[in-house]
Amino acid sequence: MSDAAQALSQALGRGSAHEGAHHWRAQRLSALALVLLAPWFAISLALLPDYSYAELYLWASSLWHAALLALLVGAACWHSMLGVQVVIEDYVRGWLRPAALVLSGFLHVLLAVLGVLAIVRIALGS
Amino acid sequence: MAQRPLSPHVFIYRFAYTMATSIFHRATGVALSLSLLLLVGFVVALAAGPGSYASYMSLAASWPVQLLLAVLLLCFSFHFANGIRHLLWDAGIGLERKAARFSAKLVTVLAVLATVALLALFYRHGAAP
């Protein structure tokens, strides 16, 4: 929770927001998803006969591959955003901290949207 | 904010290699965050057509980038193996000092083996990833 939101909560006497474990839980949930998705991606790429455009395009345009690839990009961006957030909160001080947090959040969402749109475009063959 | 003493006082501890796996988990995590740019760049280049894909792959084929990719693969294998170690800790498994020290060695060895195996698969036709 941000300082402003916390101050407001205190002023209104709301007590615990009951979402203290949210970040922790999301980090583990995205980690579990990546435990499955990341080896699938690494091994299926490694097992491809070659890395020509035709081969990769055919591979990525299968419905299952596109779905898992989109989930991989989404889960990786989510997990990365949560991890970078902790690193920023630990090491960045002063006004740079909120600036870095906002920048990191925007960049991660941008990467996720770009990646998923690209995968959808390949899957639809347009 | 007032200048308060920071905890933990990392510099007063005797160095243990479980500390190294801990900080490497964070460092490799940041490296992997940056390599998301490469992953998303890859699918965007693939979606953009044969020309963009060829430019991307010719960039990736140069030896400094190949070296970088190999290091990132090692980062990935380590963060993956050590991440499972963290998930097991969250489940209350392997928290004792002896077990934690053993698993620190285990994940490091497994990460190196996985990296070598993946590199061997990627390069089996002399084809660069």
* CATH code for the domain in which residue A102 is found: 1.20.1300.10
Whose CA is closest to A67, among A126, A107, A122? Answer: A122
Say what the alpha-carbon torsion angle A60, A62, A63, A66 is, to the nearest 10 degrees.
Answer: -10
Q: How distant is the Cα of A117 from the closest Cα of chain B, in angstroms?
A: 8
pLDDT tens profile A66-117: 999 999 999 999 999 999 999 999 999 999 999 999 999 999 999 999 999 9
Whose CA is closest to B18, among B88, B86, B104? Answer: B104
Q: How confident is the model at residue B10 (pLDDT cuts 50, 70, 90)?
A: low
Q: What is the pLDDT of residue B8?
A: 66
What mean pLDDT, rounded, does chain A reach?
92
Q: What is the pLDDT of residue B28?
A: 97
Does a structural domain hold residue A57? Answer: yes
Domains of chain B (ranges; CATH) run: 17-122 (1.20.1300.10)
Does a structural domain hold residue A63? Answer: yes
Does a structural domain hold residue A66? Answer: yes
Are the beta carbons of A50 and B32 separated by less than 8 Å? no
Q: Count Cα atoms within 13 angstroms, Cβ side, for A88.
A: 19
- Residue in B with minimal Cα distance to A80: B33
Mean predicted confidence (pLDDT) in B77-91: 96
Pick from A83, A87, A115: which is nearest to B40 by CB? A115
Does a structural domain hold residue A6? Answer: no
Does a structural domain hold residue A17? Answer: no
pLDDT tens profile B17-73: 888 999 999 999 999 999 999 999 999 999 999 999 999 999 999 999 999 999 999
Largest distance between two CA atoms of chain B = 60
Q: What is the pLDDT of residue A111?
A: 98
Residues of B in contact with A33 (CB under 8 A): none
Are the beta carbons of B43 and A69 separated by less than 8 Å? yes
Residues 6+ apart with CB under 8 A from A87: B26, B29, B30
Is A33 touching B (CB cutoff 8 A)?
no
Q: Chain A to chain B, count of Cβ pairs less than 8 Å apart?
A: 85
**Alpha carbons B1 and A120: distance in angstroms, whole number:** 47
Does a structural domain hold residue A10? Answer: no
Q: What percent of chain A has pLDDT over 90?
A: 79
Is A75 touching B (CB cutoff 8 A)?
no
Please count the residues of chain A: 126
Over 80: is that where the pLDDT of B1 sits?
no
Domain span including residue A67: 23-124
Please count the residues of chain B: 129
Does a structural domain hold residue A12? Answer: no
Is B37 touching A (CB cutoff 8 A)?
yes
Are the beta carbons of B129 and A45 separated by less than 8 Å? yes
Is A66 touching B (CB cutoff 8 A)?
no
Q: What is the count of structural domains for chain A?
A: 1
Residues 6+ apart with CB under 8 A from B36: A76, A77, A80, A108, A111
Q: What percent of chain B has pLDDT over 90?
A: 78
